[in-house]
Structure 1
Amino acid sequence: MHYQNKTPGQKMRILFLLSFIAILTGCKDEMLAVPVGAYNYTNHDMSMVWVNGQWVGGPSVNGGGASAGSINLPRKYTPGITVKIQWERSVCIHDTPECEKRDASGGFILTTGSKTVTIPPYDGEKMAEVQVVLLPNDDARIYVENMSLFHKEHPSHKEFGTLIEDGPRPLEGIWPQYSNKPKDASK
C-alpha cells in the first residue's frame, strides 16, 4: 500500500508518527550550552583558562567558581567525550618575592599548559555547570554537575575523598599522593 492510497486520517497519523520519531531522534543529539566554572587548587595565579577554546575565566589562588563562559555538550552523555583544557598561569608561587619579577615588557612572567580530559558520566537533564578543577603539577579534572564541588555527594569524592570538598586552596604539599593513583573513597 502506497502513501498516495492512504486516507487523510491515515496520512495525518503517518506524518505525526514520522514527526514524533524525528523529534525523539533529534533529542538524543541535542547540544546544550553549559556554564563553566574554573576552580584553582594550585599555588599559582591563573590568568586565563579556556575549555575547547572558550574563555572561562582566570581564577586566582584559593579562588574560582564564577562562570565566565560556556561550552556545548550533548544532553545525552556518551562515553569518551573529551574536552581540552588550556591555561596560562604565573610561573611563581603566589605572593612570593619571585612574583615581583617581570618580563621584558613589564608583564607578569607566565607559562602555558593544556590537558585533554575525559568527561565522566553526567545526567543531561540535571547538569548545571561544567566544573574545571585545576590541580598541582599541571593536572586537571572536569565534572558536569548540578551540585557544588563542596557538596558531600559530589563525584570528586570517588577519587579524592573530601580533599576537593574543603574548598579551593593550594594542594601542593599533599597532592603527590593523588597524582598517580585514584584514592579509594571507601577507606
Structure 2
Amino acid sequence: MRILFILSLIAILAGCKDEMLAVPVGAYNYTNHDISMVWADGHWVGGPRVNGGGGIAGSITLPRKYTPGTSVKLEWERGVCIHDTPECEKRDASGGFILTTKSKTVVVPPYDGETMAEVQVVLLPNDDARIYVGNISLLHKEHPSHKEFGSLIEDGPRPLEGIWPPNNSKPKDASK
C-alpha cells in the first residue's frame, strides 16, 4: 500500500511539471502601420492601431515551468500603407483596406510561471516582433525589454521606424 501511495505521489508531481496554463495576451503596436488582426498560436488577440495596444482579447497556453526553446507563432494583418497617408485612401476591390499578412515564430524569453499574468506581443518595424511573459507593464523601468530596447518600449506604443533597429539595419532573425 505504501509503495502505491509513493508511486501515485511521484506521478502527480511529475504531472505538475508539465502543467499548461492559459495566459491572457495583449498586442502592442510600435509601427507606423495600422494592424487589424493579431493571432498568437492561432488565437485571436486583438488589433492594435498605430500608437495603441494592450487590450486583452484572448489567451494562449504556455507551460507553467519555463522550457528553453518555447516559441509562439505570431501572425498579423497590417495595412500596406503608412498610417494617415494618401496611400491609405486606396481600397481593395471590395472597398476594404489593403492588407498584408505577416508571420513570425518568436522564441519566448525566460519567465516565472508562478507570477506570469500576461503575454505581451510587441510588433516592431520591419515586420519584426517580440514576446514577453510576466506580470510587469511594458511601461515599467524594470521590464525585460530594456535589455534590448532601453527605454524605447517604456515610452509607450508609437512608431519606432527610424529609431529602431539602430542604424536602420534589419534584425538578424527577421522573417516575413
Structure 1 length normalisation: TM-score? 0.88
- Please state if 1:180 is matched with 2:146: no
Give the corresponding residue for 2:52: 63
In the other structure, the counterpart of 2:5 is 16
Aligned residue for 1:137, secondary structure, equals helix
Unaligned stretches of 5+ residues in structure 1: 1-10, 182-187
Tell me the CA shift for residue 175 of structure 1.
1.3
* 1:33 aligns with one of 13, 22, 25: 22
Cα-to-partner distance string for 1:164-183 (whole Å, 9 max, x where unaligned): 000000000211307437xx
From 144, 161, 183, the equivalent of 2:150 is 161
2:128 is the alignment partner of 1:132: no
The match for 2:130 among 115, 125, 141 is 141
Count, aligned residues: 170
Question: Secondary structure of 1:19's partner?
Answer: helix
Q: Distance in 1 between matches of 2:151 and 2:29?
A: 16
- Equivalent in the alignment of 1:90: 79
SS at match of 1:15: helix
Aligned mates of 2:125, 2:171 — CA distance in 1: 12
What's the C-alpha RMSD, in Å, of the aligned pairs?
1.2
In 2, the alpha carbon distance for the partners of 1:21 and 1:118 equals 31
Unaligned runs of 5+ in 2: none
Moved over 6 A (4+): none
| Aligned amino acid, residue 8 of structure 2 | S
Alpha-carbon offset, residue 47 of structure 1: 0.4
1:185 corresponds in structure 2 to: none
* CA-CA distance at 1:98 after TM superposition: 1.3
1:123 aligns with 2:100: no
Alignment of 1:76-87 (within 5 A): 76-87=65-76
Query: What SS does the aligned partner of 2:82 have?
Result: coil
Aligned with residue 109 of structure 1, among 84, 89, 98: 98
Partners in 2 of 1:42 and 1:180 — Cα distance? Answer: 15
Q: CA deviation at 1:17?
A: 1.7
Q: Identity across aligned pairs (percent)?
A: 83
Inter-partner Cα distance in structure 2 for 1:172 and 1:58:
19
